[in-house]
C-alpha cells in the first residue's frame, strides 16, 4: 500500500534572518488571484471573450505556464492550498465555507485553523511587511462572526471583503458579496484593491513586501458599470443577467486595473525588484464554460481539467525573463509556498510538512520536472457537492495526477476514470479498462491518500 506522505521541508542554505540588514535585495511579491477566471478569459491563453492587452503584455514580458493546477475546483479549498502549501483536505476544507450549519453538514470547519502553516506568517517572520487585500473566503461572513483576524495568519494589514474577518465598510456594508450602499461600487472594487496594494508598497518601501491581492472579479454578478446595476425585490444589488457581453466588460476592467499595477511597478524608482504572479482560484462557472476553458472539459465544481487547470503568469523586471512559454513544468498552487520562500531567501520553519515542492527555478524561466504527485478532494459527503449542470462535467470526488496520467474516482472506489493528459488533454476518453493495472494502482493510491488524511474508521459520505 502506497501512501503519499507530505514532504518535510528542511532549512534552505543561506536563508535570511528576520533582519538581514544593509544590502537586502529580497524581492517584493504580489500574488494576484482572480476569482472564477478561466483560461479562455485571457487572450494570451487563446481566449476570445474579450481582449486583455495588459495581461497579454505581462505574459510577453514574463513566464507563461501552460500546465498549472490549483488545489481545488472551488474557492475556499483552493485558497487554503495556496496559503498553506498543503492539500486543503488536511485542514477540513473541501468545499466552500458557508454558514455554521452548512459547514457542519459538509464536514468542514468554519475557518482555516490559525495554527495551519501560512506563507505570509513565514515571510513576516523573515522581515517582510505583509498584507491581504481583497477576497478571503477562509473564514467569516454569514453567521461566522468570530473567525480569527488577519493577524493570526501573519498579515500586518488585512482588508477583506464579505466572507472575511475584517471587511472594511468601503467595500462591504452588508452581509452579501456587495451592496448598492457600499461607498465603493461593484464595478470599482478591482481598482480600489489595486490602489490599496500600491499604497501598501509605497508605505513600506524600506522593507520587502508580500501582498495577496485577491480580486473578486470576474465572479458573478457581472456588473461592469452603474448602468448595469439593478436592485432586486430583496433589496440586494444584482445584475440584469450574466451575459457574455457583461463578462467582457468586467474582464476589460480587470485587465485595465492589472495594467495599472504593472505600470506602477515598471515606473517605480525602488531598487528592490518585484515579482507579480497572476492566477485564478478555480475554473469559470459552468455558464459559457467551454468558451471560457478553451475547450477543456469541466468547469468550477469539477475535477476535470476545466475546473483545476488555470492560467498562471510570473512577471518581474530583472527577475523573470521575458517571452518564456513553459509547457513542460507541472506547477501547482501548493508549490507556491516553498517556491516563494526560496525566492525570498527564507525557509519554512523546521518540521513544516508540505505537499508542494520548490519549483522556484521555473518561476525564473528555467523549466523543472515535477517529482511529487498531486491530489484533489472535492467535497466529503453528499451535502458538500455542487455540480456543473452538464452531466458529463460532473466529476468523481477524488483525483490523483502522476506524470501524464490522472485518475478520478469516487471516495467509495466507484466510477474510476483514467486519462493520459499528454494524448487527451480534453479528457474525452477514459482508459480505465484498457489500462486496468495502471487504473487499479492509481485508484488505490488516491483512496490511500484520502484515508491517510481522514484517518481510520468510516467516513460519512464515502458512498454518494
Whether residue 135 contacts residue 35, with contact meaning beta carbons closer than 8 Å, is answered with yes
Q: In terms of pLDDT, which residue wins out, 31 or 288?
A: 31
**pLDDT the model gives residue 1:** 37
Identity of the highest mean pLDDT range in 10-24, 220-234, 316-330? 316-330
Q: pLDDT tens digit string along 7-53?
A: 443 333 334 444 455 578 999 999 999 999 999 999 999 999 999 99
When pLDDT is cut at 50, 70 and 90, the band that residue 268 belongs to is very high
The Cα 214–Cα 463 span in angstroms is 35
Q: For the chain, how many residues are written?
A: 464
Say what the pLDDT of residue 173 is. Answer: 74
Q: Is 321 helix (H, G, I), strand (E, B) or coil?
A: coil
Confidence of residue 113 (pLDDT cuts 50, 70, 90): very high
Percent of the chain residues past pLDDT 70, beyond the cut: 91
User: For 315, left (φ over 0), alpha (ψ -120 to 50), or beta?
Assistant: beta
Say whether pLDDT at 170 is over 70.
Answer: yes
3-state secondary structure 132-162: EEECCCCECECCECCCCCHHHHCCCEEECCC
| Tens digit of each residue's pLDDT (9 = 90 or more) over 392-440 | 999 999 999 999 999 999 999 999 999 999 999 999 999 999 999 999 9
Beta strands in 236-296 (DSSP E): 237-238, 274-280
CA 158, CA 163: separation in Å to the nearest integer? 13
What is the pLDDT at residue 56? 98
Cell, residue 410: 469516487
Burial pattern 326-349, b for ≥16 Cβ within 10 A else e, equals beebbbbbbbbbbbbbbbbbbbbe
Grid coordinates standing for 420?
493520459
| CA–CA dist 309, 184 (Å, integer) | 32
- pLDDT grade, residue 230 (50/70/90)? low
pTM, full prediction:
0.93
| Residue 85: pLDDT band with limits 50, 70, 90 | very high
Q: What pLDDT does residue 233 have?
A: 53
Does residue 372 contact residue 331 with C-beta atoms inside 8 Å? Answer: no
What are the pLDDT digits (tens) for 185-194? 999 999 999 9
Q: Where does the pLDDT of residue 195 fall: very low under 50, low under 70, confident under 90, or very high at 90 and above? A: very high
- The model's pLDDT over 438-462, given as tens digits with 9 standing for 90+, comes to 999 999 999 999 999 987 654 544 4
pLDDT one-digit tens code per residue, 143-166: 999 999 999 999 999 999 999 999
Amino acid at each position: 500500500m502506497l501512501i503519499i506522505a507530505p514532504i518535510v521541508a528542511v532549512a534552505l542554505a543561506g536563508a535570511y534572518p528576520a533582519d538581514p540588514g544593509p544590502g537586502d535585495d529580497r524581492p517584493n511579491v504580489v500574488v494576484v488571484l482572480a476569482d472564477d477566471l478561466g483560461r479562455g478569459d485571457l487572450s494570451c491563453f487563446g481566449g476570445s471573450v474579450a481582449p486583455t492587452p495588459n495581461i497579454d503584455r505581462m505574459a510577453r514580458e514574463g513566464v507563461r505556464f501552460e500546465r498549472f493546477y490549483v488545489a481545488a475546483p472551488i474557492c475556499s479549498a483552493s485558497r487554503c492550498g495556496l496559503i498553506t502549501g498543503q492539500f486543503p483536505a488536511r485542514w477540513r476544507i473541501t468545499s466552500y465555507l458557508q454558514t455554521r450549519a452548512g459547514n457542519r453538514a459538509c464536514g468542514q470547519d468554519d475557518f482555516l485553523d490559525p495554527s495551519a502553516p501560512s506563507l505570509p506568517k513565514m515571510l513576516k517572520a523573515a522581515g517582510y511587511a505583509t498584507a491581504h487585500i481583497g477576497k478571503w473566503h477562509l473564514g467569516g461572513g454569514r453567521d461566522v462572526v468570530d473567525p480569527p483576524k488577519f493577524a493570526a495568519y501573519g498579515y500586518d494589514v488585512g482588508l477583506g471583503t464579505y466572507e472575511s474577518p475584517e471587511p472594511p465598510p468601503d467595500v462591504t456594508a452588508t452581509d452579501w458579496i456587495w451592496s448598492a450602499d457600499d461607498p465603493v461600487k461593484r464595478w470599482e472594487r478591482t481598482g480600489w484593491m489595486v490602489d490599496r496594494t500600491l499604497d501598501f508598497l509605497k508605505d513600506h518601501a524600506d522593507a520587502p513586501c508580500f501582498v495577496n491581492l485577491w480580486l473578486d472579479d470576474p465572479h458573478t454578478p457581472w456588473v461592469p458599470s452603474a448602468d448595469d446595476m439593478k436592485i432586486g425585490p430583496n433589496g440586494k444589488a444584482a445584475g440584469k443577467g450574466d451575459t457574455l457581453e457583461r463578462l467582457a466588460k468586467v474582464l476589460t476592467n480587470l485587465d485595465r486595473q492589472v495594467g495599472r499595477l504593472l505600470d506602477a511597478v515598471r515606473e517605480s524608482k525602488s531598487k528592490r525588484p518585484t515579482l507579480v504572479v497572476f492566477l485564478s482560484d478555480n475554473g469559470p462557472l459552468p455558464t459559457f464554460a467551454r468558451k471560457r476553458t478553451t475547450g477543456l472539459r469541466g468547469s468550477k465544481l469539477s475535477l476535470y481539467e476545466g475546473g483545476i487547470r488555470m492560467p498562471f503568469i510570473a512577471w518581474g523586471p530583472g527577475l523573470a525573463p521575458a517571452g518564456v512559454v513553459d509547457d513542460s513544468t507541472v506547477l501547482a498552487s501548493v508549490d507556491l509556498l516553498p517556491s516563494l520562500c526560496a525566492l525570498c531567501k527564507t525557509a519554512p520553519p523546521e518540521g513544516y510538512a508540505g505537499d508542494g515542492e520548490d519549483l522556484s527555478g521555473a518561476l525564473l524561466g528555467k523549466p523543472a520536472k515535477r517529482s511529487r504527485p498531486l491530489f484533489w478532494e472535492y467535497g466529503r459527503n453528499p451535502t458538500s457537492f455542487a455540480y456543473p449542470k452538464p452531466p458529463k462535467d460532473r466529476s468523481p470526488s477524488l483525483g490523483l495526477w502522476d506524470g501524464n496520467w490522472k485518475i478520478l474516482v469516487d471516495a467509495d472506489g466507484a466510477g474510476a476514470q483514467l486519462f493520459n493528459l499528454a494524448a487527451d488533454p480534453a479528457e474525452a476518453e477514459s482508459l480505465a479498462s484498457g489500462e486496468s493495472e495502471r487504473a487499479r494502482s492509481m485508484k488505490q493510491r488516491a483512496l490511500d491518500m484520502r484515508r491517510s488524511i481522514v484517518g481510520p474508521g468510516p467516513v460519512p459520505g464515502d458512498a454518494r
